[in-house]
Amino acid sequence: MTDPASPHPSDQPAPSLHVDSDWKAQAEAERARLAEKEAALNARSGAGGPDQLPPAEFRSLVGMLASQAVMGLGTMADQQGRVVVDLEGSRFAIDLLQVLADKTKGNLTAEEQGELDEVVRELNMRFAAITRAVADHMSRGMPGGAAPAGVPLAPAPAAAPKPASAPGASKLIIP
């Protein structure tokens, strides 16, 4: 039973709810600060939708030229699944990157200079490897097009190469 001397719970003073009005202002200020920070980041990165172009920056220029060089080294296939190698186009893109490196020397940040040097070095190594592979491919008398400029070729074997439609035929195209 209940003790008649004890006060009834409804007779007790209601618990007070202490609301710190400063927390609301602080939360609102933090939300606004984060929104500004996100807007600045989106403006710098060019984010905003799939239809927008990336920012016009030095890194974008290097990336565009490097992509052209890599595509010419056989990273893209045609509709029949054959590898397309454009050594002249690739060499041109790599040379443009080297011109860019030479002309901007001393005017780039250490990070930009390092990235550009690394891209040129890596592309030159890949170009040399692909050029050797194409020369080897061509020296074995495999079909695939004319000899690339500047690639020494051994004489073709006496046997006629297989036509391109035959099973096991070359999947290399050299413009």
Average confidence score pLDDT of the chain: 75
List the beta strands (DSSP E) in the chain: 83-84, 172-173
Residue ranges of domains in the chain = 24-45+55-151+171-175
Q: State which H helix or E strand residue 95 sits in.
A: helix 87-104
Nearest to 150 by CA among 141, 138, 158: 138
H/E segment holding residue 4: none
Q: Which two tokens stand for residue 104?
A: 């901007």
Beta strands in 69-165 (DSSP E): 83-84
Res 174: pLDDT: 62
**Dihedral angle sign, alpha carbons of residues 131, 96, 66, 81:** negative
How far is CA 126 from its chain centroid? 17
pLDDT at 172: 58
pLDDT at 156: 34
The CATH code belonging to domain 24-45+55-151+171-175 is 1.20.58
Angle between helix axes 87-104 and 58-70 (nearest 10 degrees) is 160
What local confidence, expressed as pLDDT, does residue 17 receive? 57
CA dihedral 55, 88, 103, 70 (to 10 degrees): 40
Cβ–Cβ under 8 Å, residues 148 and 134: yes
Looking at residue 49, what is its pLDDT? 60
Query: What pLDDT score was predicted for residue 70?
Result: 93
Q: Low-confidence residues of the chain, pLDDT below 50?
A: 145-169
